[in-house]
């Protein structure tokens, strides 16, 4: 006998419990809006389960292992810091358990927050019936199907990894999700794509002991960032022993399936032996498989088109996060989610951030907030820019910080800061100061005239501003 379909009604129905969807649901519930969130998998989406958090956990674990291994390999007396370590060993299963524990704590916390604020969570796969009706196939096959009727429908279904036709996922060809839960460290890892995931996770595996080769179609690594910023990263990767094959296209696996065939710009073909192949060539909005096409919403390429309030082309149907395209970053999804909830509650909000920070958690890290000198010029702005190198920063030296710098970009006429960039160990934490300064309309004089604690990496921020004004003190 066919199970009876139950019908529920709600004011706001959110499809997807990632950082976009769960933040929207929490804020809406806080504001007293009857809210239901449908999530097919574990709450927290890509970010908490198979993205930002697990990758940063493994980056940290790999760095710790690499450090002790470096001390051990450098031999008695060779470590500059006077630290000596004997035969370090990696218990990878424990590393993965530790990472999973962090993920569980955070995803459990999201569930608790939703409950605390009174949002209803339905576990199951949502399919759109029309702009106000969604059918949910419950995760528990024995449970009855559910029909939910809403006033506002918020689409937050996120994105999925792009697959390469020449190297389909399966067997030894894996994506980030599998790379984040390894059962073993492969002796030889080939990474396809020198973007965020390729370089963050490529670095992890190299530090855990794999031989790593990264194949990139374009002629430089991290092509989305300017070359001045990526230079120290590329130098560090080479020093770490990562091989970069730039300007190369992958042709597929060889006949025995244990090597990747790669063609360079001259048409020369080589085989790269591989025990595992990580394909990380981008992500695309998840627009298929849940009836979205039936709404005939306006699209921007593969992404849903939204206005500056995250409204789609259908009244009371909203979309946020990766589903709406680039930049596909968790903090953007969260900010959009919070805003949509407030608009539905009657507040006047627009999504018009002065800048959305981007951080690449390579070693060293890269931060970009606002305009670079090149993007400012493209936008027709007359700007000046100045760098302060970490080589002249005491705190960086005490942390063995190595190469890197902070760069400020400001309008020449009134010194309004329009961009900050940095590359260096630990600079991800400077993104907060950068974002604040741009969002609050700071000028060079504001950054230069603020007392920065000594000794900190942040002093390089003040010094970059001082240098732009022509009177740096420590260089």
Cα–Cα distance for residue pair 264/270, rounded to 1 Å = 8
214 vs 444, beta carbon nearer ligand FAD: 214
Q: Which residue in this structure is represented by tokens 């424990």?
A: 94
Minimum distance of ligand NAD from residue 365's CB (angstroms): 9
Q: Which of 11, 31, 34, 41: binder of ligand FAD (CB under 6 A)?
A: 41
Binding pattern to ligand FAD, positions 175-214, x when CB under 6 A? -x--------------------x-----------------
Active-site annotation holder among 70, 350, 454, 474: 454
434 near ligand NAD, rule: CB under 6 A: no
Residue 157: contacted member of ligand FAD, ligand NAD, none (CB under 5 to 8 Å, by partner type): ligand FAD
Minimum distance of ligand FAD from residue 110's CB (angstroms): 11
214 near ligand NAD, rule: CB under 6 A: no
Q: Which of 12, 114, 180, 194: binder of ligand NAD (CB under 6 A)?
A: 194
351 near ligand NAD, rule: CB under 6 A: no
Cα–Cα distance for residue pair 475/473, rounded to 1 Å = 6
Number of residues that bind ligand FAD (CB under 6 A): 36
Q: Which of 329, 335, 447, 466: binder of ligand FAD (CB under 6 A)?
A: 329
Minimum distance of ligand NAD from residue 335's CB (angstroms): 14
Tell me the residue length of the chain. Answer: 475
98 near ligand FAD, rule: CB under 6 A: no
Minimum distance of ligand FAD from residue 25's CB (angstroms): 11
Burial class from Cβ neighbours inside 10 Å (0-12, 13-18, 19+) for residue 145 reads middle
Give the range of 25-33, 148-156, 187-195, 289-297 binding ligand NAD by CB under 6 A: 187-195
Residue 331: contacted member of ligand NAD, ligand FAD, none (CB under 5 to 8 Å, by partner type): ligand FAD
> Which tokens belong to 431?
């993104």
Burial class from Cβ neighbours inside 10 Å (0-12, 13-18, 19+) for residue 53 reads buried
162 vs 416, beta carbon nearer ligand NAD: 162
> Which tokens belong to 162?
């792009």
Residue 28: contacted member of ligand NAD, ligand FAD, none (CB under 5 to 8 Å, by partner type): none
SS (H, E, C) the chain: CCCCCEEEEEEEEEECCCHHHHHHHHHHHHCCCCEEEEECCCCCHHHHHHCHHHHHHHHHHHHHHHHHHHHHHCCCCCCCCCCCCCCCCCCHHHHHHHHHHHHHHHHHHHHHHHHHHCCEEEEEEEEEEECCEEEEEECCCCCCCEEEEEEEEEECCCEEECCECCECCECCEECHHHHCCCCCCCCEEEEECCCHHHHHHHHHHHHHCCEEEEECCCCCCCCCCCHHHHHHHHHHHHHHCCEEECCCEEEEECCCCCEEEEECCCCCEEEEECCEEEECCCEEECCCCCCHHHHCCCEECCEECCCCCCECCCCCEEECHHHHCCCCCHHHHHHHHHHHHHHHCCCCCCCCCCCCCEEECCCCEEEEEECCHHHHHHCCCCEEEEEEEHHHCHHHHHCCCCCCEEEEEEECCCCEEEEEEEEECCHHHHHHHHHHHHHCCCEHHHHHCCCCCCCCCCHHHHHHHHHHCCCCCCC
8 vs 177, beta carbon nearer ligand NAD: 177
Contact 9, 148 (CB under 8 A): yes
Give the range of 12-20, 194-202, 369-377, 383-391 binding ligand NAD by CB under 6 A: 194-202
Q: Which of 111, 131, 252, 282: binder of ligand NAD (CB under 6 A)?
A: 282
55 near ligand FAD, rule: CB under 6 A: yes
222 near ligand FAD, rule: CB under 6 A: no
Residue 198: contacted member of ligand NAD, ligand FAD, none (CB under 5 to 8 Å, by partner type): ligand NAD
Give the range of 284-292, 322-330, 367-375, 419-427 binding ligand NAD by CB under 6 A: 322-330
- Of 85, 67, 87, 24, the closest CA to residue 338 belongs to 24
386 near ligand NAD, rule: CB under 6 A: no
363 near ligand FAD, rule: CB under 6 A: no
Minimum distance of ligand FAD from residue 348's CB (angstroms): 24
Q: Which of 125, 392, 450, 452: binder of ligand FAD (CB under 6 A)?
A: 125
State yes or no: is 454 an active-site residue.
Answer: yes
Give the range of 4-12, 110-118, 281-289, 408-416 binding ligand NAD by CB under 6 A: 281-289
466 near ligand FAD, rule: CB under 6 A: no
39 vs 463, beta carbon nearer ligand FAD: 39
> Which tokens belong to 396?
């960086």
Distance of CA 440 to the CA centre of its chain: 24
Catalytic residues: 454
Binding site for ligand NAD (CB under 6 A): 164, 192-198, 200, 215-218, 223, 249-250, 280-283, 327-329, 359-361
Binding site for ligand FAD (CB under 6 A): 15-21, 38-41, 45-47, 51-52, 55, 125-126, 156-159, 176, 197, 286, 290, 321-323, 328-331, 333, 361
């Amino acid at each position: 006998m066919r199970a009876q379909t139950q019908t529920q009604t709600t004011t706001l129905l959110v499809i997807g419990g990632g950082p976009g969807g769960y933040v929207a649901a929490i804020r809406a519930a806080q504001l007293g809006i009857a809210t239901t969130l449908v999530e097919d998998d574990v709450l927290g989406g890509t970010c908490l389960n198979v993205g930002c958090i697990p990758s940063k956990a493994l980056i940290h674990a790999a760095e710790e292992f690499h450090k002790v291994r470096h001390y051990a390999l450098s031999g008695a007396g060779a470590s500059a810091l006077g630290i000596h370590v004997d035969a370090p060993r990696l218990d990878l299963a424990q590393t993965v358990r530790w990472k999973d524990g962090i993920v569980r704590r955070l995803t459990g916390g999201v569930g608790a927050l939703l409950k605390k604020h009174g949002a209803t969570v339905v576990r199951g796969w949502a399919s759109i019936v029309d702009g106000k009706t969604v059918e949910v196939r419950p995760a528990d096959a024995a449970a009855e199907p559910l029909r939910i009727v809403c006033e506002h429908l918020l689409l937050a279904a996120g994105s999925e990894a792009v697959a390469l036709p020449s190297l389909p996922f399966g067997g030894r060809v894996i994506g980030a999700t599998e790379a984040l839960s390894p059962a073993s460290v492969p002796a030889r890892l080939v990474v396809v794509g020198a973007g965020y995931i390729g370089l963050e996770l490529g670095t992890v595996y190299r530090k855990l002991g794999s031989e790593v080769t990264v194949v990139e179609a374009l002629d430089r690594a991290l092509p989305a960032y300017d070359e001045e910023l990526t230079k120290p990263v590329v130098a560090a990767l080479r020093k770490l022993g990562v091989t970069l094959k730039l300007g190369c296209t992958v042709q597929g696996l060889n006949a025995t399936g244990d090597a990747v065939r790669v063609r360079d710009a001259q048409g020369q073909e080589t085989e790269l032996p591989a025990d595992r192949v990580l394909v990380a060539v981008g992500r695309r909005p998840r627009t298929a498989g849940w009836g979205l096409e039936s709404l005939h919403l306006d699209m921007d390429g593969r992404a849903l088109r939204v206005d500056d309030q995250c409204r789609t082309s259908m009244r009371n149907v909203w979309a946020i996060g990766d589903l709406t395209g680039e930049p596909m970053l968790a903090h953007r999804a969260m900010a959009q989610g919070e805003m949509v909830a407030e608009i539905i509650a009657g507040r006047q909000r627009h999504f018009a951030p002065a800048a959305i920070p981007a951080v690449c958690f390579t070693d060293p890290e890269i931060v970009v907030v606002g305009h670079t000198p090149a993007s400012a010029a493209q936008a027709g702005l007359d700007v000046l820019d100045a760098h302060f190198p970490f080589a002249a920063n005491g705190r960086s030296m005490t942390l063995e910080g190595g190469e890197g710098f902070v760069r400020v970009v400001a309008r020449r006429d009134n010194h309004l800061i329009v961009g900050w960039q940095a590359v260096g160990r630990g600079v991800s934490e400077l993104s907060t100061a950068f974002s604040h300064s741009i969002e609050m309309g700071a000028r060079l004089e504001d950054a230069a005239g603020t007392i920065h604690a000594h000794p900190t990496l942040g002093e390089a921020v003040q010094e970059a501003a001082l240098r732009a004004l022509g009177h740096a003190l420590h260089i």
